[in-house]
Amino acid sequence: MKLMLRSAMLRFARDRKANVAIIFALMMVPTIFLLGMALDYTLALRKREQLNAAADAAAIAAVRPAMLTQSDTTVVKATAEAVFAAKANLPGLSAVPTPTVTIVDSGLARTITVSYTAQSTNNFPGVLGKQTWQVAGSATARASSAPNMNFYLLMDDSPSMGIGATTTDISNLIKYTAPAYQSAGGSQNCGFACHETNIAHDGGTKDNLAIARQRNITLRIDLVTSAVNQLLNSWSNCPQSGVSGGVMQCMSALNNTTYKAALYTFDLGLNALATLTTPTSAGTQVSNIALMPVAYQNCVVVTTNCKTDNGTDIAGALKSLNDVMPTPGLGSNASGDTPQEVVFLVTDGVEDKIVSGASTCPNASLASNNRCQQPLDTTICTTIKNRGIKIAVLYTEYLQLKTPNIPVTNSWYMSWVDPYNEPTSLTGTIAQKLQSCASPGFYASVQTGGDISDALTNLFIKVASSTASLVQ
């Protein structure tokens, strides 16, 4: 009997029939457990991604320009909570989570952190032994409110700004100032529309500026005037409706800030067209931007034995402007704070002035009359920036006045300017000095023939704007 039982057990052990069904039955319990856990975990992760997006939106909303001006942090907190609640009302949560909003202000900068904890409802609560799966996350955004600013617009109106606006304009000026169009003498074959008030003195018959106006030739100073007009008087692209005025008024409305503007030109010295006032009031003086007049060729002012065309003292103008600019503040709306101060310099970057000796003009050759022609000496720029004043520079590139760019190579240009304008007007010493003068990030250049209006507008927006960014 024992032998038979033992034999039967051995046969049962060796029998492989229906083993799959048995193994499957044994594996059903852990398989169901794992599938249920994976499904609930995946759903919980999806809920966390959606809630993280809600936290991102809430943090960004709390550092928008309108919020940055709010000194009442309860309003900012309520805004973040409302945005989060609108996006966090998701199916599959046991309840809509209430976020924790933390606000940290430091000067003009504000940091917002939105954190949350939520419960994702499990579809297989028996598997994990609990009804929900906890998810949590946070988002941090930081932005600086746009500061109140005073802008000092400093426009070059020296004779070199009378260059034709494009190579075509330059060629036309050369053509219409040729002897065939005016009697011998005066500024002939000239790509500059110099404003000469006593042309008869040196045999000329017509002011080159008058020729440019008569022939509808656009000059670089015309483009600058148009650019400043767009900045202060008229801009059709303001994204906010109902705002009258130029770019400055538009950005003031968008950023909820106060801007003031002063308008100056410079040549031999600083010329005040509008001292610090509202942008609209400063805008009424845009039409007064005009080329510096000279008595006649080789004579800036009527004096005995006048033999020089000097007329551009950039460093001197910056120094004079520095003398009238107050110490800048933070630009916040806090009691006792004052606006930030910004110089906006638009120039071709070449100084042309009388100096006392070679020691004051180390980077340029000197004629016998101590006429110095060189790129800007940036010493005054450093002095201004060390006071905390920002400098924005728009370089109206000094077009290379030589073949093959123009039909007649300009000998004066080749002797005095070309050494500083190589290998290109964008990369030469002139450009390098102006970029060094500008505050970091506040430099732009535009070629002759380029859109100076857009270049000046874009540079202003860059200086004036603040942006919000997600830190985490």
**Which amino acid does the sequence have at 371?**
R
- Per-residue tens of pLDDT for the chain, all 472 residues: 556 656 656 665 565 555 655 555 555 555 555 565 667 678 888 899 999 999 999 999 898 877 877 778 899 999 999 999 999 988 888 899 999 999 998 877 889 999 999 998 887 665 556 788 889 999 999 888 788 999 999 999 998 898 888 888 888 888 888 766 655 445 667 777 888 888 777 666 788 898 899 999 999 999 999 999 999 999 999 988 889 999 999 999 988 889 999 999 999 999 999 999 999 999 999 999 999 988 887 788 766 667 777 889 999 999 999 999 999 999 988 889 999 999 999 998 989 888 876 566 655 555 556 778 889 999 999 999 999 999 999 998 877 766 665 655 667 777 778 888 888 878 889 999 999 999 999 999 987 556 888 999 999 998 987 555 566 6
172-177 contacts at long range (C-beta below 8 A, 24 or more positions apart): 172/215, 172/217, 173/208, 173/211, 173/212, 173/217, 174/406, 174/407, 174/408, 176/211, 176/215, 176/217, 177/208, 177/211
Residue with tokens 């966390």: 48
- Nearest partner of 177 among 378, 407, 382, 398, judged by Cα: 407
Burial 388-414 (b: 16+ CB within 10 A, else e): ebbbbbbbbbbbbbbeeebebebeebe
Under DSSP, the state recorded for 358 is G
CB 117 within 8 A of CB 92: no
d(CA 212, CA 202): 19
Q: Residue for token digits 């955004």?
A: 141
Give the integer Cα–Cα distance in Å for 372 and 380: 17
Per the listing, tokens 């319990």 go with 29
Tell me which amino acid residue 165 is.
A
What ranges make up the beta strands (E) of 254-389?
A: 259-266, 270-277, 293-294, 340-347, 350-354, 371-375
Phi–psi pair at 182, nearest 5 degrees: -150, 155
Query: Which residue is associated with the tokens 């931007």?
Result: 289
d(CA 463, CA 383): 20
Predicted TM-score (pTM) of this structure: 0.74
